[in-house]
Structure 1
Amino acid sequence: MRILKKIFSRSRPVEGGIFFGEIEKIIGFKPLNIDSYIMAFTHRSSNKTDAKGNPISYERLEFLGDAMLSSVIAAHLFNQVPSGDEGYLTKMRSKIVSREHLNELGRDLNLISFVESKVPAQHFGDNIHGNIFEALIGAIYLDAGYAACEKFINTRVIMPYVDIPKLEGKVISYKSLLIEWCQKEKKTFHYDVYEDNGIGGERLFGVKLSIDGKVVAKARAVSKKKAEEKASQRAYFAFQEKINTK
């Protein structure tokens, strides 16, 4: 994989030696094979390939890291909550590895500063922070194995952030919660989504959420999904007392 090191030192804003040192600080041990970490911070827009012509980017490592993270968190919950059934454990794991939480973890470590890309950083979506965090976990697994991966996740995720009592009360999707309540109470609901150009011509999506034929919440956001979630959150707080007593 020498070709990766050559590419790295020529085009990445952080020079090889500095990169090695910074990665060591983040992962807590000296990397055995820096190539995996270089790949973990290479965006597909760089159009890099290895000696066999395979594209070099963090996406495959993201897939691997996602699996490793899910496995370690699942084992932790299984051991810590012996009374939890499958549904409970699955829901708790989802809260820990939510996209929002992973983005926060990646942002806290400023992982985006190491990314090699032809796309300006300001054009990346929020999810790149979590994607790179998962790719880093995948790189650790390739470099040092499962035990090192488990230790990193324990240090960076479980110890500082996993508080089971607090997680039990955390809502990860107001839309799912609201729909579940509507179905249980046999209420009809409808999300009316439309394009809504905001001030300055910014492309936004508007949502009107109706329950039993009455508009109960409105919201705007840069995507349909975010607008629906925001409207659902507002509706949840409007009906919170009724929802939480059911």
Structure 2
Amino acid sequence: MSFISKIFNSHPEKDGDFFLGITHILGFKPKNISIYRKAFLHRSANKKDKDGNPLNYERLEFLGDSMLGTIISKYLYNEVPLGDEGYLTKMRSKIVSREHLNELGKDLELIKYVESRISKSHFGDNIHGNVFEALVGAIYLDRGYQYCEKFINERVIGPYVDIEQLEGRVISYKSLVIEWCQKQKKQFNYNVYEDTGNDTLKHFAVKLSIDNNVIAKARATSKKKAEEAASKRAFFALQDKIKKSK
């Protein structure tokens, strides 16, 4: 029995529950359950292999991200024969967006299988998408490309992908606002600052100004989220002007 298997097979009853749960999610039986254990292992668990190398899901996440992009690209190439490179790239970005992957991870309730030393209530939304990608990577290593493609077709493309709806889905309001400002030769500025207040978690506030006029404000737990939230508010405040300029 390998070192990793010893780590992950030390509690037979718990392992049996994990095997059944993963089998239900996958729709087929895993061959090497230890790979899937690793897909749910957070770095805070501080597990290491026999050589002292850290064990966590991050390398599987990297692999899963690549597999997901490849399989979605193949699907779009076949499904939209008249789509040019720019269109296909944009559609793929919408399907594999962080927001969308987080939704997938939540729907599959993957977080309940995560092993960590941190309370799951302290994880941000991205944990859901990260683990989903790691799971895809584990499927590829355990069962190969065909099973990986089958899982993505059944769990992602079938229930979630609608080409017409995706065409109208906005990936980034910040990109839309910046693009409009550049076309209209308007100056814009995102003034971001810490705004913790009475919150336990650090928050950031942002003021979005266009031509020295504050158009929107927002606050969130990261600078990126705060900027996107302010951009979304600005987009809807300016949407008539933005639409006319297209």
Q: Does 1:31 align with 2:30?
A: yes
- Hey, what does 1:50 align to over in structure 2? 49
- Hey, what does 2:219 align to over in structure 1? 220
Counterpart code for 1:74: S
Show CA shifts across 1:164-212 (max 9, x none): 1100100010001110111111111111111223335653211111111
Is 1:175–1:232's contact at 8 Å kept on the other side of the alignment?
A: yes
Q: Does 1:160 align with 2:159?
A: yes
- Report SS of the residue matched to 1:15: helix
Show CA shifts across 1:59-98 (max 9, x none): 1100000000000000111111111111111111010001
- Hey, what does 2:173 align to over in structure 1? 174
- Hey, what does 1:118 align to over in structure 2? 117
* TM-score, length basis structure 1: 0.95
- Report SS of the residue matched to 2:111: helix
Q: What is the count of residue pairs matched by the alignment?
A: 245
Displacement after TM superposition at 1:30 (Å)? 0.8
- Hey, what does 2:8 align to over in structure 1? 8
Q: After the TM superposition, which residues 46-195 of structure 1 pair with which residues of structure 2 at under 5 Å, given as runs?
A: 46-195=45-194
Is 2:8–2:34's contact at 8 Å kept on the other side of the alignment?
A: no
- Report SS of the residue matched to 1:220: strand
RMSD value over aligned CA atoms?
Answer: 1.6
Displacement after TM superposition at 1:52 (Å)? 3.3
Q: 1:240 to 1:5 in 2, by over 3 A?
A: same
Is 1:11–1:116's contact at 8 Å kept on the other side of the alignment?
A: no
Is 2:44–2:117's contact at 8 Å kept on the other side of the alignment?
A: yes
- Hey, what does 1:239 align to over in structure 2? 238
Query: Which whole-Å CA distance do the structure 2 matches of 1:189 and 1:239 have between them?
Result: 14
Displacement after TM superposition at 1:36 (Å)? 0.9
Query: Which whole-Å CA distance do the structure 1 matches of 2:65 and 2:201 have between them?
Result: 33
Query: Which whole-Å CA distance do the structure 1 matches of 2:5 and 2:170 have between them?
Result: 43
Query: Which whole-Å CA distance do the structure 2 matches of 1:5 and 1:70 have between them?
Result: 30
Query: Which whole-Å CA distance do the structure 1 matches of 2:33 and 2:51 have between them?
Result: 19
Which structure 1 residue ranges, 5 or more long, are not aligned?
none
**More divergent stretch after superposition (201-210 vs 79-88):** 201-210
Query: Which whole-Å CA distance do the structure 1 matches of 2:117 and 2:97 have between them?
Result: 28
Query: Which whole-Å CA distance do the structure 2 matches of 1:131 and 1:120 have between them?
Result: 17
- Hey, what does 1:207 align to over in structure 2? 206
Show CA shifts across 1:91-148 (max 9, x none): 1101000111111111111111111111211122211110100000000000110000
